Copies of this chain bind each other. A is one copy, B any other.
């Protein structure tokens, strides 16, 4: 028994370096890189959430290129990974899609490099929950300087921050996604 794990990358509401709530633009490589990591670590779906119709159209165009356009002809491994990508407006749509796919609401797990007041769930704890559970798990990643405090507070749990040996903790979201999937899913 193992719970299906989903990832969502939110571009809103996230914070900027001054802690203000903003909407970030799209970084193309966030789509491919995280899709490839998700495919490597057997993730059930990867949602790219953006409130702008125009930027969702850009994401869909990138996704189309690798799934059906010229990219699909020259790069089979990327085509396969891009099948996991769903472009949606916001978290509500992510939750609705998971509900319709699995028949259940997911357990929502926030991620953050910043300190929050609420206690965190360790990687081994979440890993055990995935391996021994069946309720879908949704891991939320924030672009910019991270998920807004309201999103973090509304989640069921907050994953422990990724830290190296020193104080520096400014990983790219693509790097953070890769590391957390490896910690949760590597065999």
Given A170-B40, A175-B175, do A165 and B185 touch, yes or no (CB 8 Å)? yes
Binds B, one of A31-39, A53-61, A88-96, A100-108: A31-39
Q: Does A132 contact B (CB under 8 A)?
A: no
Point out the residues of chain B lying under 8 angstroms from A162, CB to CB: 40, 182, 186
Mask, A164-187, CB within 8 Å of B = 1, is 111011111011111101110111
A64 at the interface (CB under 8 A from B): no
- Secondary structure of the A contact surface, majority rule: helix
A33, B17: Cα distance in complex, Å: 18
A165, B78: Cα distance in complex, Å: 18
Q: Is A163 a contact of B187 with CB atoms below 8 Å?
A: yes
Does A122 reach chain B (CB closer than 8 Å)?
no
Q: Is A154 an interface residue (CB 8 A)?
A: no
Q: How far is the CA of A72 from the CA of B187 in the complex (A)?
A: 40
